[in-house]
Structure 1
Amino acid sequence: MKFNGLLSAITIASSISALSFNQHDDQIVLSNLNSEKSHSPLNEIYSQFDTVENKQFISKIWSDLSSEFSENKLIQLVNQFNNRKSLPKNNQYKAFTAASTQFETLSNDKFNDYSLRIKSTHPEILGLDTVQQYTGYLDVQSLDKHFFYWFFESRNDPKKDPIILWLNGGPGCSSSTGLFFELGPSKINSTLQPVNNPFSWNNNASVIFLDQPVGVGYSYTNSEEVVSTEAAAKDVYVFLELFFQKFPQFIQNEFHIAGESYAGHYIPRFASEIINNADRSFELSSVLIGNGITDPLIQAGSYKPMACGEGGYKPVLTPEQCHQMEKDYPKCKILTKLCYDFQNPLTCVPAQVYCDNKLFQPYAQTGLNPYDIRKKCADEGGNCYVEMDYMDDYLNLEYVKKAVGAENIDIFTSCDDTVFRNFLLNGDEQKPFQQYVAELLDHNIPVLIYAGDKDYICNWLGNFDWVNQLDYKDGEIFAKKPLKHWKTLDDGKIAGEVKNYKHFTFLRIYDAGHMVPADKASESLDMVNRWISGDYSFGHKD
């Protein structure tokens, strides 16, 4: 979940690496804005493009993008990018001292640069739930990276119930969004008081909320910034190894990873990291991805139909705009294919910039909520939901920070612009991650892709399209399976549509936006409870 600052981020991206792109004699001239100095590594990448037409096309796209901004503006943006280390960070923090908070520390010779801190006094004093709960940090000493986590045991039977790791997206958004706005044991009201959530996912599972990558939420760093999903994968894997070392009583419990939005990148890659570590001490039972961005090439093609009345909601754009988006998608597709082939900033940033400008911005200019096509943003600050402001204010209270061991954080923000910008400038968003989903399925790891059908930014049409085109061993069989009604167990109400074959499931959830547990709390609990119990078809048998 990340929307505010998108236009400025796109502008900065168009001047990545202080380079402008101009076409001359059928070659790209890669030049510094102040000189004509050649950059041979970029020319070498460019020379690998397979056709003259692709070379000409990428040249034209960069030329079109550059022409939208004056030279002075580009120079200003480039200087900002080059000096990014000195830019103010949203998530400011004080130097940590051991005396400020009492922690128990756990280390492992296998991961000698990592340690896990666990607060010795638990945060039950905050009154979020009556269950056992733990907070602390994963520390990477040499890189000065510190990842915050909050763990709630199950309300039911923690000795036997599954463990769920929850990850929010962004990139750059705290998993406290899931904790306090969606699926956690309490939500925060306008007076900054916790209100019990009867539909919390810890009703029948123990849940870990992890702030990652570093710099997000209560996590912090003073040096090493994570700029890609790939770089984040090892940190999350080591966190889980140390977590299960600290809590060995849970190592035989089923373990699932769930999340939404940019977690469509995170979860497939993190899950791949787990199953490819043969000496792991725990097993992965399944993954759940809600309204994720996983296959940008296919999902970009869903913006036009979703905005133009083909996704189950009325059109919100004019016929002329819809026609133009249809014309623009093939260019987006060509650029994204180049990104998929080469997976570097030179190929992926142009694809991201072009596709966002041409396919997302027509919707953004309507003023409608990107996370719910039915309404405008309730909060003009960028979060779109006033409840997110309550959460931010609550997590900035000194007694809350003290209770969880985060006194060293000066300012908590639900989404960090620095992390968002770093990922964008690395081209991470436009890269493919569906191949990791195929890998999981071919290793017989169950996968649930669920989507609220009133979301726009990661809408259900795009998610439905990519799962039907996924290349894995049972892909052709899955693609032919029809959508069927999904009925909740408690009251038999039709809550959406489901498509399943063996351990792969797609679930459309009626009348929910981007954050399904916030919009459809009862239905989302029905979904997660049935999934972790092994009901992958949601009641439908072949």
Structure 2
Amino acid sequence: MAPTPGLLQISLSLFLFFILSSLFSSAATNDDLLLSSTSQYLQRQAEKLITDLNLSPKRNKYSLSHNDSLSLPAGKIIEKKFRFPNLDAASGPSVQDFGHHAGYYGLPHSHDERMFYLFFESRSNNKKDPVVIWLTGGPGCGSELALFYENGPFQITQALSLVWNDYGWDKVSNILYIDQPLGTGFSHASNKKDIPHDEERVGNDMFDFLQAFFKEHSEFVENDFYITGESYAGHYIPAIASRIHQANKANEGIHINLKGFAIGNGLTDPEIQYAAYTDFALENGLINSDDYNRINTMVPQCLQHIQDCGNKGGKACETAFFACNDDIFEQILTAAGNVNYYDIRKKCDKPGCYDFSSMETFLNKEEVREALGVGDMRYVSCNEKVYSAMRNDWMKNLEVGIPSLLEDGIRMLVYEGEKDLICNWLGNERWVDSMKWSGQAAFMASPNVSFVVDGQEAGKLRSHEPLSFLKIHEAGHLVPMDQPKAALEMLTRWMQGKLAIKETGGAN
């Protein structure tokens, strides 16, 4: 979402959502000139912010990744087993007991580009455990952020050592962390034309990768398969799920046993979610009634821009991107003061609000890059080139492809940390409720029941048949970081079909 000087204390979280949006626009048009008076100032401030947060490499700050030594044929995978340096062996089982893989996939229809991934076989040593992929948002932020700070096998310390995560999702699944879209994290992109600009390309690239992955790991091809992620992955996930499901129905390629997809605090239907911002902010005391009434006068224009984006695409989507973020989200933040909008319980009292710099320092250590097989590529947490390329995708509605998935029995879980503002539970609940499908009325009539973990209520759940909506207590945007035990329990029950509500109204 587009920034002004009042937003230059923006927090890192996983996504670098707003500060970079105005820095890399194409040649100015009449609409762009509305922003030109502040663009140079914003660029200087953003560069300083990126440097402060260690978000960019020491050299080639705004260049795309490039490493000719990593070349591989299109459509092929190069993979190696690895062991992270600095793992505290005393904190858990031996890493040699498990299959940990790092790999590159040569992306077809590109200029020798490569997608990076990490694959962790289940810690339960059960080869039949589901295969789960995790997608971090941004757009343009590497999935290693979730790996080390949310739901991966390891957690990173300030001393740059690793300890086993008691609530890693690899305890119940074989999990893939993928740096996508192309250019994200360790994924290679030397030509900006190869970076996706829309969800059709995202879906196709991921489908191609998964075909190669299951060819490489044919022992997992019959396992249940789930897609998970958070934030801007609310766009990625429905697109990828639809692409896989359509291919399965058309007998295209290897059949992927897609059972469901889970979106955590996502951006999926912008028109409904942007309209909910002021209600959420008022209900949570972030703005007063005067602010509420003033900002709400600008909501109709924002929604009209979003509708124009859906009807016309192109420049209309860029106009909606700037107008809605300037007129609604930024105005709320200005009124709210120094609040961490990924977790409204907290103040943003330091640069970046969250400090994930240890991870980037760790991943750029020579011995770590050698272990992963990434050559001399440097890791960047969030790539502003990818963010900019996907800007016109931001206001697209990805809810439209979901009903057909539900009708065919593909399960969807929407889970929400209740203290997040940016992709808040209220806006997400509203688009889920408004979605037209055969079970809509029954879902709307379903009761809220307690989601209980260790005898304590950890959230509130509504569900009907393939659709579940879960609000997690005492969590912000990053649910697996804030409530790791509840998040693991949620994933486990959902994959086992034990999260849903029975007809009697009681929770399984």
TM-score by length of 2: 0.85
Q: Select the residue among 390, 403, 406 that pairs with 1:423.
A: 390
Judged with a 3 Å threshold, the aligned counterparts in structure 2 of structure 1 residues 157 and 93 are, in CA distance, closer, same or farther, namely: same
Judged with a 3 Å threshold, the aligned counterparts in structure 2 of structure 1 residues 115 and 67 are, in CA distance, closer, same or farther, namely: closer
**Structure 1 position 373 matched with structure 2 position 344:** yes
Matching residue's letter, 1:531 = W
Judged with a 3 Å threshold, the aligned counterparts in structure 2 of structure 1 residues 72 and 454 are, in CA distance, closer, same or farther, namely: closer
Query: 1:306: Cα distance to partner?
Result: 1.6
Identify the residue that residue 3 of structure 2 maps to in structure 1: none
> What is the CA–CA distance in structure 2 between the aligned matches of 1:338 and 1:192, rounded to whole Å?
48
Identify the residue that residue 498 of structure 1 maps to in structure 2: 461
Judged with a 3 Å threshold, the aligned counterparts in structure 2 of structure 1 residues 4 and 262 are, in CA distance, closer, same or farther, namely: closer
**Structure 1 position 405 matched with structure 2 position 370:** no
Contact 2:418/2:476 (CA < 8 Å) preserved in 1?
yes
Identify the residue that residue 56 of structure 1 maps to in structure 2: none
Judged with a 3 Å threshold, the aligned counterparts in structure 2 of structure 1 residues 202 and 337 are, in CA distance, closer, same or farther, namely: same
Query: 1:534: Cα distance to partner?
Result: 1.1
Contact 2:154/2:162 (CA < 8 Å) preserved in 1?
yes
Q: How does 1:42-57 map to 2 (within 5 A)?
A: none
3-state DSSP class of the match of 2:223? coil
> What is the CA–CA distance in structure 2 between the aligned matches of 1:506 and 1:352, rounded to whole Å?
27
Contact 1:124/1:133 (CA < 8 Å) preserved in 2?
no
> What is the CA–CA distance in structure 1 between the aligned matches of 2:257 and 2:279, rounded to whole Å?
40
Q: Select the residue among 245, 255, 264 that pairs with 1:290.
A: 264
Q: How does 1:30-429 map to 2 (within 5 A)?
A: 62=31, 66-67=33-34, 69-70=36-37, 88-89=61-62, 92-96=65-69, 113-119=74-80, 121-123=81-83, 127=87, 129=95, 130-140=97-107, 142-223=110-191, 224-277=194-247, 278=250, 279-281=252-254, 282-309=256-283, 313=284, 315-342=285-312, 344-365=313-334, 366-377=337-348, 379-380=350-351, 382=352, 384-386=353-355, 388-409=356-377, 411-424=378-391, 427-429=392-394
**Structure 1 position 522 matched with structure 2 position 485:** yes
Judged with a 3 Å threshold, the aligned counterparts in structure 2 of structure 1 residues 192 and 443 are, in CA distance, closer, same or farther, namely: same
Contact 1:186/1:197 (CA < 8 Å) preserved in 2?
yes
Judged with a 3 Å threshold, the aligned counterparts in structure 2 of structure 1 residues 317 and 243 are, in CA distance, closer, same or farther, namely: same
Identify the residue that residue 531 of structure 1 maps to in structure 2: 494
Query: 1:237: Cα distance to partner?
Result: 0.5
Judged with a 3 Å threshold, the aligned counterparts in structure 2 of structure 1 residues 72 and 176 are, in CA distance, closer, same or farther, namely: closer
> What is the CA–CA distance in structure 2 between the aligned matches of 1:389 and 1:495, rounded to whole Å?
30
Q: Select the residue among 10, 18, 38 that pairs with 1:6.
A: 18
Partner deviation per Cα, 1:314-355 (whole Å, 9 max, x = no partner) = x1223322211221111111111111222x222111111111
Matching residue's letter, 1:283 = N
3-state DSSP class of the match of 2:133? strand
Contact 2:15/2:140 (CA < 8 Å) preserved in 1?
no
> What is the CA–CA distance in structure 1 between the aligned matches of 2:79 and 2:450, rounded to whole Å?
44
Contact 2:14/2:136 (CA < 8 Å) preserved in 1?
no
Identify the residue that residue 8 of structure 2 maps to in structure 1: none
Identify the residue that residue 33 of structure 1 maps to in structure 2: none
Residue identity over aligned pairs, in percent, reads 32
Query: 1:229: Cα distance to partner?
Result: 2.1
3-state DSSP class of the match of 1:19? coil
Matching residue's letter, 2:29 = L
Partner deviation per Cα, 1:258-287 (whole Å, 9 max, x = no partner) = 000000000000011101112242221110
Identify the residue that residue 437 of structure 2 maps to in structure 1: 472
Identify the residue that residue 438 of structure 1 maps to in structure 2: 403
Contiguous gaps of at least 5 residues in structure 2: 1-12, 45-59, 89-94
- Count of aligned pairs between the two proteins: 461
Contact 1:95/1:408 (CA < 8 Å) preserved in 2?
no
3-state DSSP class of the match of 2:330? helix
Query: 1:209: Cα distance to partner?
Result: 0.4
Query: 1:69: Cα distance to partner?
Result: 4.2
Matching residue's letter, 2:359 = M
Contact 2:85/2:368 (CA < 8 Å) preserved in 1?
no
3-state DSSP class of the match of 2:298? helix
Query: 1:18: Cα distance to partner?
Result: 2.7
Contact 1:135/1:151 (CA < 8 Å) preserved in 2?
yes
Matching residue's letter, 1:117 = I
Contact 1:2/1:171 (CA < 8 Å) preserved in 2?
no
Judged with a 3 Å threshold, the aligned counterparts in structure 2 of structure 1 residues 138 and 438 are, in CA distance, closer, same or farther, namely: same
Stretches of 4+ aligned residues off by more than 3 angstroms: 1-5, 10-13, 65-74, 90-94, 124-130, 538-542
Query: 1:5: Cα distance to partner?
Result: 7.3
Judged with a 3 Å threshold, the aligned counterparts in structure 2 of structure 1 residues 97 and 156 are, in CA distance, closer, same or farther, namely: closer
> What is the CA–CA distance in structure 1 between the aligned matches of 2:137 and 2:17, rounded to whole Å?
16
> What is the CA–CA distance in structure 2 between the aligned matches of 1:540 and 1:127, rounded to whole Å?
47
Query: 1:463: Cα distance to partner?
Result: 0.5
> What is the CA–CA distance in structure 2 between the aligned matches of 1:71 and 1:391, rounded to whole Å?
32
Matching residue's letter, 1:192 = L
Contact 1:90/1:416 (CA < 8 Å) preserved in 2?
no
> What is the CA–CA distance in structure 2 between the aligned matches of 1:205 and 1:68, rounded to whole Å?
46
**Structure 1 position 448 matched with structure 2 position 418:** no
Matching residue's letter, 2:218 = P
Query: 1:482: Cα distance to partner?
Result: 2.9
Provide the alpha-carbon RMSD of the alignment: 2.4
> What is the CA–CA distance in structure 2 between the aligned matches of 1:245 and 1:429, rounded to whole Å?
33
Judged with a 3 Å threshold, the aligned counterparts in structure 2 of structure 1 residues 415 and 538 are, in CA distance, closer, same or farther, namely: farther
> What is the CA–CA distance in structure 1 between the aligned matches of 2:340 and 2:38, rounded to whole Å?
33
